[in-house]
Amino acid sequence: MMNKAGTDIQIAICGSAGDGTIASGDIMKRAAALMGFNVIAFDVYPPEIRGFGKCISRIRISSQQAYSLKQESDILVSLNDMHAIPHVGEVRDFGAVIYDDHLVSRVAEGGHISAHINPAQIPYGFSIRQISEQATNSARSRNIVILGYVAGLFNLPGEHFRKVIKSKFATKAQAVVDDNTKAFDAGLRAGRAVFKLDDVEVREPAEDANGAEVVMMTGNGAVVRGFMEAGIQSYFGYPITPATSIMERLAVEMPPVGGKFLQTEDEISAIAAAIGAGYTGSRAATATSGPGLALMAEMLGLGVMAEVPVVVVVSQRGGPSTGLPTKTEQSDLNLAVFGGSGDAQRIVLAPTNVEGCYRCAAMAFDIAETYQVPVILLIDLYLSNRYETVVPSSENAFAPKPRVPLKLVKGKPYERFALTENHISPRALPGEEGLMHTITGLEHNELGRPNDAIHMTMTIKRHEKLKNAINYEGLNVSKRFGDTGRVNVGILGWGSTFGEILEAMYEAQAEGISCSAMKVVMLSPLPVDALRAFFNDCDQILVPELNYEGQFANLVSGALGRPVTRLNRAIGTPMVVDEILAEVRRLYIQGPDTQDGARATGAGS
């Protein structure tokens, strides 16, 4: 699947926890981004901090837009053969396997990676440990030596790597920078001395036309950037994988600009405090994962009932319960869309890539304030931790609009929950003259006074006011890609999986299958009209998602009353492009089912 028109290589670095695998991958992707390439990268690591768990850092470097990682890597670098051996198979034919061929101890039969390399793969053995020791008197810089080697192998310029090494270790002693630079240069010399992979060519990346600033960030980093640009004023959080890095980054970035940052005692108080702050008019947010969202469900209901704006980021991981804390899954859709007691509709946004994380996070506050409701930003571990190059918008695009204070009408009490044409009631903030009122989680009348008789009217108000959110300016709540008009197969997707869906769709198109893909970014309220139009255009609809029950498929077919074909995987890792492609081919060949059009390859059908 090489992109012959330009550079498109994927490097996988595999080692044991403590080998510096992730750090090595980090330098690789930053250097590639500095060179101007598009980068998509994703690290897989064990839940333990130290010990012998497996770490893999995969980096795709391309001159064209890419949507996901490639299934096959061009290069596998082994820092630990025991962990890397099972991944030899992911290296493409004529791809390279880089390993240490200078053994310092006896290895059991089959314990060395060289015994597992396929005939079609190209072995690149060199003495990684020895070079590291010669350069820095320590085997600990093996992870930097291999970077130099890869750079040498592809004839990549060393300067970008040296720049990244310098900035990465800027807070450490100069000797650390020097040692790592020496290790890199030693690896570079070794890499330049060997024969090249003949079908890999690194070309100059395409010059960015408008000279816009391109930065590389993770989904979590993009959320933070979006929040900062939107002028986040208060943040309350509790550590939980994979959302913690949002909290850690905001803890660094908010205080210098006067933001209020507080690590709370649990997730319940995190969202409670965010709702308290949101009630005062502060741009307030929290971030968590599925288990934390479960704890927050009651408070979300209060936010809906009392009509308080608040932003909640949810980065999903494998569940239920503690589940798979360091593995990805899309199984908290039900909880995000429906979680809590009563009829409690909220707005749920599910960006599909890192750029989307940035834009949705930046817009989330204004959406929450406009519709006076909690907004959930639903992402997952794969999106949280994967790196992509992003072009941020111009400054101040998302800053809060100046508030127009409400005026008290003489002789008429202020109605916080006044029934209006667009169902949104003018909101007074505490501290504003004469507009005192009480908000409550009890059902209440226009004044906010407890009242049961008005329940139906107020329930309608709280649901109707959200309907217009699908027209929120600047937000693509859904978008169709690929062939227009009537197609054989339509792939419908949400969240991080949409990258794999797009890759599969473009490959299916290349095979001559008429197909298109649609992403749905707003999961609540659902853009039903756009979905219906898409269903009407497609003979068959395929919904691939990373969960067992088909939560998105259920949501969509429930809303439209139309059947879909499901592709459900609960495997802890991203969806495999070829599996989607195989399903598209199958649907294309088989044609629509005359019974009800639906066939299941997963459960819950």
Residue ranges binding other proteins (CB under 8 A): 233-234, 236, 252, 255-262, 264-266, 268-270, 272-282, 284, 298-299, 302, 306, 429-442, 449-450
Return all residues near 116 (Cβ < 8 A) that are at least 6 apart: 85, 88, 110
Q: Which is nearer to other proteins, 253 or 578 (CB)?
A: 253
Nearest to 164 by CA among 10, 25, 43, 354: 25
Q: Are 585 and 508 in contact (CB under 8 A)?
A: yes
Q: Are 67 and 87 in contact (CB under 8 A)?
A: no
Amino acid sitting at position 487: V
DSSP 450: B
Q: Which is nearer to other proteins, 236 or 534 (CB)?
A: 236
Q: Which is nearer to other proteins, 44 or 230 (CB)?
A: 230
H-state helical runs in 241-396: 244-253, 267-279, 290-306, 333-338, 354-371, 381-385
Q: Least Å distance between CB 256 and other proteins?
A: 4
How many Å apart are CA 491 and CA 504, to the nearest integer? Answer: 9
Q: Least Å distance between CB 294 and other proteins?
A: 15
Q: Which is nearer to other proteins, 153 or 308 (CB)?
A: 308
Q: Are 487 and 533 in contact (CB under 8 A)?
A: no
Q: Least Å distance between CB 457 and other proteins?
A: 20
Q: Which is nearer to other proteins, 299 or 335 (CB)?
A: 299
Q: Least Å distance between CB 258 and other proteins?
A: 6
Q: Which is nearer to other proteins, 25 or 278 (CB)?
A: 278
Report CA 202 to chain centroid distance, whole Å.
28
Q: Least Å distance between CB 375 and other proteins?
A: 17
Return all residues near 495 (Cβ < 8 A) that are at least 6 apart: 330, 350, 351, 352, 378, 379, 380, 383, 545, 546
Amino acid sitting at position 126: F
What angle, rounded to 10 degrees, do the helices at 244-253 and 219-229 form? 40
Q: Least Å distance between CB 531 and other proteins?
A: 35
Q: Least Å distance between CB 461 and other proteins?
A: 19
Q: Which is nearer to other proteins, 279 or 588 (CB)?
A: 279
Q: Least Å distance between CB 272 and other proteins?
A: 4
Q: Which is nearer to other proteins, 123 or 255 (CB)?
A: 255
Q: Least Å distance between CB 440 and other proteins?
A: 4
Q: Which is nearer to other proteins, 112 or 462 (CB)?
A: 462
Nearest to 153 by CA among 125, 180, 181: 125
Q: Which residue has the tokens 């395929």?
A: 542
Q: Are 54 and 65 in contact (CB under 8 A)?
A: no
